[in-house]
Amino acid sequence: MSTTVLVLTKLPGHLPVKTRLHPELGPERSRAIYRWMLRRTLATARCFEAAPTLAYSPPDADPRRALPGIGTCRFLPTLGTNGSSCLEYALCAGYRGEPMIALGGDAPDLPVRWLRALRQALGPCDAALVPSGDGGFSALALRRPLAGLAEAFGFGSDDACAALERWLRSRGQRVAVLPAWPDVDTPDDLRALYDRLGESRPMRPTAPPRPSSPLTASAAASGALRPARSAR
């Protein structure tokens, strides 16, 4: 089954990203983290589609300049006044007559097997969700876009996943809810991400980045954003 994979993002440097990290990490380091997370997400998306669709805002920005080294993508400038309306726009504008999986950049270690499970769920179902565990969702799969989805839930709200599920069912959609996978919003979430990846944690909020950290300003500028592994 062919599948369109959409990765929705705000472009760092044009719109604020990871603002709940700012008080402890600052805007620059938060942007660097988000770029790294987004690259990981796109690498996962490419397991399904060689050129996933990057649905970005603001629509008048240049995604290649905002995300150097982003790799092969289809680029879809996204219109909307909030996250929910941008999601609906991207699903409608990016629809190519095949099932769709929509991801954000907030769950960069979402396993490929979760995406396979989403695609498989669209056999018997019309929609599938991966909750994030904090009330939101880490991924959404649909057989086809649905008008009015922007009004179904508040993006970033504590009950976004449950509200979207209720709305989908109220429209006669058969919905599968997969096991949750956490996203990254806070410094604690970020520490948990590094623990899951088995990575060193140059972004620990209580300590400055190590001199060798790839997320220093010079490395961030060059796009080398993968954290170094701990010495074994």
Query: From CA 44, how far away is CA 124, in angstroms rounded?
Result: 24
CATH of the domain at 50: 3.90.550.10
225 within some domain: no
Distance CA 153, CA 159 (A): 8
What confidence tens digit (pLDDT) does each residue in 163-178 have? 999 999 999 999 999 9
| Residue 226: predicted pLDDT | 35
User: Token pair of 138, please?
Assistant: 């880490």
Whole-number pLDDT of residue 232:
32
Token duo for residue 19: 């603002």
Report the distance separating Cα 174 and Cα 191, nearest Å: 36
pTM: 0.85
Q: Is residue 208 part of a domain?
A: no
Quote the longest CA-to-CA distance of the chain. Answer: 55
* Radius of gyration of the CA atoms of the chain, in A: 17
Residue 222 pLDDT greater than 70, yes or no: no
Q: Residue 198: what pLDDT?
A: 87
Distance of CA 10 to the CA centre of its chain: 10
Reported confidence tier of residue 157, pLDDT bands at 50, 70, 90: confident
The tens digit of pLDDT for each residue in 97-140 reads 999 999 999 999 999 999 999 999 999 999 999 999 899 999 99
Report, as an integer, the average pLDDT of 68-97: 95
Domain count, the chain: 1
Domain region containing 182? 4-190
Tell me whether residue 209 is in a domain: no
> 144 lies in a domain?
yes
DSSP assignment string, 43-108? HHHTTT-SS-EEEEESTTS-HHHHSTT--S-EEEE---SSHHHHHHHHHHHT--SS-EEEE-SS-T
Residue 125 resides in a domain: yes
What is the C-alpha separation between 160 and 151, in angstroms, rounded? 11
Strand, helix or coil for residue 199: coil
Q: Which residues are registered as beta bridge partners of 130?
A: 139
Please indicate, yes or no, if residue 53 is contained in any of the structural domains: yes
Asked if residue 210 is part of any domain, the answer here is: no
Asked whether residue 16 is domain-assigned, the answer is yes
Please state, in angstroms and rounded to a whole number, the distance separating the CA atoms of residues 35 and 223.
8
